[in-house]
Structure 1
Amino acid sequence: MKQVNIEDAAHGMVAGEDVRGADGVLVLARGTAVDEAHLRAMRAYGVRSLSVVSDEAPPGEAGPGGPDDGTAATEARCRALLAPRFAALDLDAPFGRTVFDLAVRRAAARALACGLDLDAVPAAPPHLAPPPEASLFSARGVDPQSLVSGEVELASLPEVHVRLLDALNSDKTSAGELSTIIGRDPGLAARLLKLVNSPAYGSRAPVDTISRAVALVGRAELATLVMGLAAVHAFGDIDPELCDMRAFWSHGAACGTYAALLAAVCPGTAPDRVFVGGLLHDIGQLVILRRLPAAAGRALLLSRIEGLSIAAAEDAVLGFDHAAVSRALLTGWHFPETLTAMAAGHHQPDGRPEARETALVHVADILATAWAWPAFAGATVPALSEPAWRSLGLSAAVLPGIAVAGEDRIRDTEAVFFPAQTPPQARPHPDPRKRT
Structure 2
Amino acid sequence: MGKRNIDDITPGMTLGQAVCAPDGRVLAAAGTTLSEDHLRLMRAYGVRDADIAGQDGDPAADAAKAFTATAQRCRELLRRRFLALDRESAVGKTIFELAVSRAAGRVLDQGLSLDEVAASPALPCLAPERQLFDDAATDPAELVSGEVELATLPEVHVRLLNALGKDETGPAELAAIIGRDPSLTARLLRLVNSPVYGLRGPVDSISRAVTMVGQKELSTLVTGLAAVSAFSDIAPELCDMRMFWRHAAACGVYASLLARSVPGLAPDRGFVGGLLHDLGQLVILRKLPAAAGRALILSRVEGLPASEAETAVLGFDHAAVGRTLLAGWNFPPALIAMAGDHHRPDGAPGSRETALIHVADILAQAWDWPAFSGPPMPALDEPAWHSLGLSESVLVDVARDGDDAIAEIESVFFSGPTGRPH
TM band (smaller chain): 0.7 to 0.9
CA distance in 1, matches of 2:227, 2:258: 23
Which residue is equivalent to 1:418? 414
The alpha carbon displacement at 1:150 in A equals 2.6
Asked if the contact 1:148/1:287 (under 8 Å) is kept, the reply is no
Give the 3-state SS of the residue equivalent to 2:232 in structure 1. Answer: coil
Asked if the contact 2:221/2:272 (under 8 Å) is kept, the reply is yes
Kindly indicate whether residue 191 of structure 2 is the aligned counterpart of residue 191 of structure 1: no
CA displacement 1:181-234 (0-9 Å, x = unmatched): 100111111110000000111122211111001111111111111110011100
Aligned equivalent of 2:162, options 148, 162, 166: 166
Kindly indicate whether residue 204 of structure 2 is the aligned counterpart of residue 201 of structure 1: no
CA distance in 2, matches of 1:334, 1:161: 13
Q: What letter corresponds to residue 388 of structure 2 in structure 1?
A: L
Kindly indicate whether residue 306 of structure 2 is the aligned counterpart of residue 316 of structure 1: no
CA distance in 2, matches of 1:138, 1:363: 36
Kindly indicate whether residue 384 of structure 2 is the aligned counterpart of residue 384 of structure 1: no
CA distance in 2, matches of 1:321, 1:146: 9
Asked if the contact 1:251/1:369 (under 8 Å) is kept, the reply is yes
Aligned equivalent of 2:149, options 148, 151, 160: 151
Q: What letter corresponds to residue 202 of structure 2 in structure 1?
A: P
Aligned equivalent of 2:339, options 340, 343, 346: 343
CA distance in 1, matches of 2:63, 2:389: 31
Give the 3-state SS of the residue equivalent to 1:149 in structure 2. Answer: coil
The alpha carbon displacement at 1:422 in A equals 9.1
Give 5+ residue unaligned stretches, structure 2.
1-58, 123-131
TM-score (normalizing by structure 1):
0.77
CA distance in 1, matches of 2:334, 2:60: 43
CA distance in 2, matches of 1:375, 1:122: 8
Which residue is equivalent to 2:228? 232
Give 5+ residue unaligned stretches, structure 1.
1-59, 127-134, 425-436
Aligned equivalent of 1:375, options 358, 371, 378: 371
Kindly indicate whether residue 69 of structure 2 is the aligned counterpart of residue 69 of structure 1: no
Which residue is equivalent to 1:301? 297
Q: Which moved more, 1:322-331 or 1:110-119?
A: 110-119
Kindly indicate whether residue 284 of structure 2 is the aligned counterpart of residue 288 of structure 1: yes
Give the 3-state SS of the residue equivalent to 2:237 in structure 1. Answer: coil
Give the direction of change, closer, same or farther, for the CA distance of 1:125–1:249 in structure 2 (3 Å limit). closer
Asked if the contact 1:144/1:320 (under 8 Å) is kept, the reply is no
Give the direction of change, closer, same or farther, for the CA distance of 1:138–1:217 in structure 2 (3 Å limit). same
CA distance in 2, matches of 1:243, 1:167: 35
Which residue is equivalent to 1:357? 353
Q: What letter corresponds to residue 243 of structure 1 in structure 2?
A: C
The alpha carbon displacement at 1:137 in A equals 11
Give the 3-state SS of the residue equivalent to 2:194 in structure 1. Answer: coil
The alpha carbon displacement at 1:119 in A equals 3.5
TM-score (normalizing by structure 2):
0.79
Q: What letter corresponds to residue 231 of structure 1 in structure 2?
A: A
Alignment of 1:18-97 (within 5 A): 68-97=64-93
Asked if the contact 2:259/2:270 (under 8 Å) is kept, the reply is yes
CA distance in 1, matches of 2:104, 2:146: 42
CA distance in 1, matches of 2:82, 2:141: 30
Which residue is equivalent to 2:404? 408
Alignment of 1:328-339 (within 5 A): 328-339=324-335
The alpha carbon displacement at 1:265 in A equals 0.2
Give the 3-state SS of the residue equivalent to 2:263 in structure 1. Answer: coil
Aligned equivalent of 1:271, options 243, 263, 267: 267
Give the direction of change, closer, same or farther, for the CA distance of 1:124–1:348 in structure 2 (3 Å limit). farther
Asked if the contact 1:242/1:293 (under 8 Å) is kept, the reply is yes
Asked if the contact 1:151/1:287 (under 8 Å) is kept, the reply is no
The alpha carbon displacement at 1:423 in A equals 8.7
Which residue is equivalent to 1:44? none
Q: What letter corresponds to residue 185 of structure 1 in structure 2?
A: D
CA displacement 1:101-128 (0-9 Å, x = unmatched): 01000000111112222234557999xx
The alpha carbon displacement at 1:280 in A equals 0.5
Which residue is equivalent to 1:243? 239
The alpha carbon displacement at 1:149 in A equals 2.7
Give the direction of change, closer, same or farther, for the CA distance of 1:122–1:211 in structure 2 (3 Å limit). closer
Q: What letter corresponds to residue 299 of structure 1 in structure 2?
A: A
Give the direction of change, closer, same or farther, for the CA distance of 1:61–1:230 in structure 2 (3 Å limit). farther
Structure showing greater Rg: 2
Which residue is equivalent to 1:105? 101
Which residue is equivalent to 1:175? 171
Asked if the contact 1:252/1:279 (under 8 Å) is kept, the reply is yes
Which residue is equivalent to 1:215? 211
Q: What letter corresponds to residue 308 of structure 2 in structure 1?
A: A
The alpha carbon displacement at 1:69 in A equals 1.3
CA distance in 1, matches of 2:106, 2:350: 39
The alpha carbon displacement at 1:146 in A equals 5.0
Asked if the contact 2:251/2:364 (under 8 Å) is kept, the reply is yes
CA distance in 2, matches of 1:177, 1:117: 55
CA distance in 1, matches of 2:105, 2:419: 18
CA displacement 1:255-314 (0-9 Å, x = unmatched): 000001000001111110111000000000000000000000000000011000110000
CA distance in 2, matches of 1:113, 1:302: 34
Give the 3-state SS of the residue equivalent to 1:109 in structure 2. Answer: helix
